Structure 1
């Protein structure tokens, strides 16, 4: 069984690296590399190095809250038809200049989406609203590339689908460049939806209940991002995350595909694995 092969290939782990590398996690990395153990091992080792230095599980809302003031990326209050967590992205609402901080904000929300997955679900859905988007306020190519890099390489098989709703014609020029950064698996998950294209609308409706879907995406719900309320939610979730990842030196049994470990020393130093 490839999961056991990958486990053996990775070797002994401790602390958060051990907790991260649950069987469900190993399966995602294997799926992302078509069940090739060597390629999956390389990918997973690179993620463990990234996690040990970037420490995504330690980012707190207060550190990235300024990025969220306009609601450019946030976790929706509804789920899709399969119970997946939904992230809403509104690139036209960009409010800051620092790419590093924007990426920390996105990573925080990806981690938060995973934290809030139901027990039987490992993936999230993205809804991307192009209201107010133009080439003048669009994220730079570098930002789009880094987003794709993080999602594909460090959160494999976490994205179920990304709906790009009604992008303007000018977006086509941006997309022609960005799509080359996508691997085949991720590319297949990106769906364009146009209100006048019945098939694309029906595809999105197959994922979302019209009553939950905001009007910005052709649904019936009112989209109302309240930064203060979202901040309260994220502060509560920060406490949940701290308990899960063992800020108090005890790792709780999680419900989102992470393994159980009794104590959480510092992440395993994987520097020797770096090429």
Structure 2
């Protein structure tokens, strides 16, 4: 770490000494014993501008206090059948760990439909996975490796991505904004696999809009990405959709349900769900409850521009698809007419 960076962290620490006691308490839950690492994450997210990083952190701490995020792991989504529906339509899971000890988070972008529960349940579930990752998974990984593990690897499966995904952009923007503003620099690398044409078309227009720091984190792999991913993780830790070319779907596994890290029956989700139920037990009896509402933060202007660009590109591709379909239909009608005339 350079002298300039050390000075920035010291200045950051001094500024944080003056914040309200309630914010200091939630900050302890956030940094899990590693405040310097948290300062560095927020500094990197604001290009080492101390004042901007401090404002970002204070805003995040206020968001945590106002939305009771420290207690979100005591709020189970019940009944279990509702949570199963969330898991079936919000495809996220932990498939294992990299050779360096980082959690490998798999995300089924293409097949996630977000259509079996309210938006608040999906946001609640997402934040619970973030908090469980930061409070349970990473501390255990750090203990096992004998060093701090504070970031993860994400493998994004684009299998099944369609133009209908346009309907999900608003929800995905909410989730991305929550991550960007409150869990910055928690992902070391994003690996994109099974990318169809629609992703490639959008990537061409979105990539130039991303910050250089973000672009460096994103790697688009060929096919299912198995060979490249095996350089950084063992075969057993590969997400199920990366274990063989042409496996087809994020939803299903050919090697049994427990191999599908998206499934509610996967050990990771069983452990997470049981953990939340156990945390809730001392505070109140389990019963049917409404979703845990969290205030949705306003997206960063740059993020809003990216979302708008993706939406515009989807509309363009949809129009192109409709035009191609019309051309094919007219061609067929002309062909049929020609046959009848002859």
TM-score category (smaller protein): 0.7 to 0.9
Q: Find the partner of 1:102 among 100, 104, 122.
A: 122
Aligned counterpart, 1:251: none
Aligned counterpart, 2:92: 74
Q: Find the partner of 2:77 among 62, 73, 80.
A: 62
Distance (Å, rounded) in 1 between the aligned partners of 2:123 and 2:170: 11
Distance (Å, rounded) in 2 between the aligned partners of 1:52 and 1:40: 18
The change in CA–CA distance for 1:209 and 1:139 in structure 2 (over 3 A counts) is farther
**Post-superposition shift, 1:160?**
0.8
Distance (Å, rounded) in 2 between the aligned partners of 1:175 and 1:166: 14
Distance (Å, rounded) in 2 between the aligned partners of 1:191 and 1:139: 25
Aligned counterpart, 1:165: 193
Alignment RMSD:
3.3
Query: Is the radius of gyration larger for structure 1 or structure 2?
Result: 2
Contact 2:226 2:242 in 1 (8 A): no
Determine helix, strand or coil for the equivalent of 1:108. Answer: helix
The change in CA–CA distance for 1:58 and 1:171 in structure 2 (over 3 A counts) is same
The change in CA–CA distance for 1:235 and 1:215 in structure 2 (over 3 A counts) is closer
Residue 25 of structure 2 is aligned to residue 15 of structure 1: yes
The change in CA–CA distance for 1:152 and 1:203 in structure 2 (over 3 A counts) is farther
TM-score by length of structure 1 reads 0.73
Aligned counterpart, 1:38: 51
Distance (Å, rounded) in 2 between the aligned partners of 1:122 and 1:235: 22
Residue 133 of structure 2 is aligned to residue 113 of structure 1: yes
Deviates more, 1:17-26 or 1:213-222: 213-222
Output one character per residue of 1:158-194: Cα deviation in whole Å (capped at 9) or x when no partner: 1111111111101234445655774432232122112
Distance (Å, rounded) in 2 between the aligned partners of 1:191 and 1:141: 21
Residues matched between the structures, number: 243
The change in CA–CA distance for 1:192 and 1:61 in structure 2 (over 3 A counts) is farther
Contact 2:93 2:105 in 1 (8 A): yes
Aligned counterpart, 1:258: none
TM-score by length of structure 2 reads 0.60
Determine helix, strand or coil for the equivalent of 1:70. Answer: helix
**Structure whose residues are more often helix by fraction:** 2
Q: Find the partner of 1:48 among 61, 64, 68.
A: 61
Determine helix, strand or coil for the equivalent of 1:83. Answer: coil
Distance (Å, rounded) in 2 between the aligned partners of 1:128 and 1:138: 17
Distance (Å, rounded) in 2 between the aligned partners of 1:152 and 1:184: 15
Contact 2:98 2:233 in 1 (8 A): yes
Unaligned runs of 5+ in 1: 248-275
**Post-superposition shift, 1:42?**
1.5
Deviates more, 1:98-107 or 1:157-166: 98-107
Aligned counterpart, 1:186: 214
**Post-superposition shift, 1:66?**
4.8
Deviates more, 1:133-142 or 1:214-223: 214-223
The change in CA–CA distance for 1:100 and 1:191 in structure 2 (over 3 A counts) is farther
Contact 2:12 2:54 in 1 (8 A): yes
Residue 112 of structure 2 is aligned to residue 93 of structure 1: yes
Distance (Å, rounded) in 2 between the aligned partners of 1:185 and 1:70: 33
Contact 2:106 2:239 in 1 (8 A): no
Distance (Å, rounded) in 1 between the aligned partners of 2:206 and 2:265: 33
Distance (Å, rounded) in 2 between the aligned partners of 1:229 and 1:133: 24
Distance (Å, rounded) in 2 between the aligned partners of 1:29 and 1:147: 18
The change in CA–CA distance for 1:110 and 1:175 in structure 2 (over 3 A counts) is farther
Output one character per residue of 1:105-128: Cα deviation in whole Å (capped at 9) or x when no partner: 222212222230122200011111
